[in-house]
Amino acid sequence: METLVTSELLLLAFKALLPAIVAIVLALITKEVYSSLFVGIAVGGLIFANGNPVAALEHIFNEGIILSLADSYNVGILVFLVFLGIIVALMNKAGGSAAFGNWASEHVHSRVGSQLATIGLGVLIFIDDYFNCLTVGSVMRPVTDRQNISRAKLAYLIDATAAPVCIIAPISSWAAAVSGFAPEGTNGLMLFIRAIPYNYYALLTIVMMVSMVLLKIEYGPMARHELNAKNGDIFTVKPVVAKEDENTGDKKGKVIDLVLPVVVLIFCCVIGMLYTGGFYGEDLEGTFFTRFVDAFANSDASVGLAYGSFGGIVFTVIFYLCRRVLNFKDSMSSIEEGFKAMVPPILILTLAWSLKAMTDSLGAAEYVAEIVDRTKGNFVGIMPAVIFLIACGLSFATGTSWGTFGILIPITLKAFPLDGSNSLAIICVSACMAGAVCGDHCSPISDTTIMSSAGAQCNHIAHVSTQLPYALSAAAVSFLTFLVAGFAKNAAISLIIGIAIMIGMVFLLKWTLPTPDSASLQKETPKPEKE
């Protein structure tokens, strides 16, 4: 009887996730994301309405698109994106990006150096993944372009230092989100910190990324993009909006015109998040550090980032006026330019949120929760690996990592209660977080993936297709590492084994798959035509 119920449950879960599956498959086949997402939304609406087209249309707009745009958190993210786009437009017009690119070209003389600089900046901006994606992209595009690094590779470096870094940073919007999902009576931030050493996907992704840059290894579709970039075509596939004039700003621009606005933006975003968390109120008690941590745990990331980015705009406009690198008219025209640059990611995000609303209305979260609860059984040792796979699948299909660990962490802690001796509970929580980041990293409908494409100004499907083999490689090694951790229950031993497998796999992939230096790949790839 239990097997029959499980089969029915699996069928219901598949039906609930079908809209997302349709959207993802169509996006990968057609290379066109807007229509693919809308078809997925339409499928969800028809399933919910039992095939009634009128009821489906009402559900799509009322409970999908309109409700997604009415959500205050989502609107806060959209406002943040627009403000960030305006700041980037201001920096480009003032010549800050051009000046930084010229400075970097004098100090960074290799492809390896520019990629390591991108990784370093991505690690330093650990406050929020959205902020990371767009800021690192705008700062490093001129640098990587000068070294003929493909936009697909830049998008991968941005994506791999966004969510994977934020999920292991105690002071970040992600730490605040995870803390909010902890059960009542549990210190959410301490739970997050204890889970960091077991977050193998995030840690191994960073190891893989750095080792591949140092060893100059590329494989899969990325190899072709990198070969084309070496031959002068950094895009291979043109994005919807591709600006070619980042470095044509005012000659008065200096490096400080990019660095100082970015530093102030980071500072303002931290202050904004602390403010929304009540740091400056009277509700929080204790030492400065305790109040600081509690404020981040209680913060509203979307509102805090909107406050911070607005403060960044005000400072940047005043700073440029005082420096006389931009007049008031040019500063105001940057508002329109910044908004236009953010239209494609805003449209994709809106459709992705609407698609998630469709899967939610079909009960995807409840069915997956039931599957996790029934999977526990007697296979306790392999549960971290199983939870990792479930989190990967759910996050990939829904395009949201926060929603995934919001669903799975409470279920996991119910199945494996926290106590002093139960390290398996911490490992399983880490597996939820790691799997959520992995699925988010792979999914073409993930907001972080979309933001990485926007930050690098890379064709979105090109970014997804080139990143997927790398993300799946890291996922496979992470799965094996969670299997080891489930039995060893030791973070250091498991991580050492995982790193050894990862490095061995990278060398194996270099020997067995085409790379930019492969004669066969060079023969197959035509030289890009000059426009």
For 50-59, what is each residue's pLDDT tens digit?
A: 999 999 999 9
* Closest by Cα among 412, 248, 410, 254 to 324: 254
Tens digits of residue pLDDT in 103-134 = 877 888 899 999 999 998 889 877 678 778 87
Quick one: tokens of 168?
A: 């292991």
- State the pLDDT at residue 251: 60
Q: What is the pLDDT of residues 378-421, one digit of tens each?
A: 567 898 998 999 899 888 887 878 778 767 887 787 777 776 55
Dihedral, 227, 231, 236, 242 alpha carbons, nearest 10:
130
Domain ranges of the chain: 2-524
Residue 492 is predicted with a pLDDT of 92
173-228 residue pLDDT tens: 677 667 666 666 666 767 888 899 999 999 999 999 999 999 888 988 999 999 99
What percent of the chain stands above pLDDT 70? Answer: 87
Mean pLDDT of 2-28: 76
The full 3-state SS of 39-107, as one line of letters, equals HHHHHHHHHHCCCCHHHHHHHHHHHHHHHHHHCHHHHHHHHHHHHHHHHHHHHHHHCHHHHHHHHHHHH
Q: Is the four-CA dihedral 519, 520, 524, 525 of positive or negative sign?
A: negative
Neighbouring C-beta atoms of residue 398, cutoff 10 Å:
30
Average pLDDT (253-259) is 86
| CA triple 15-21-27, angle to 5 deg | 155
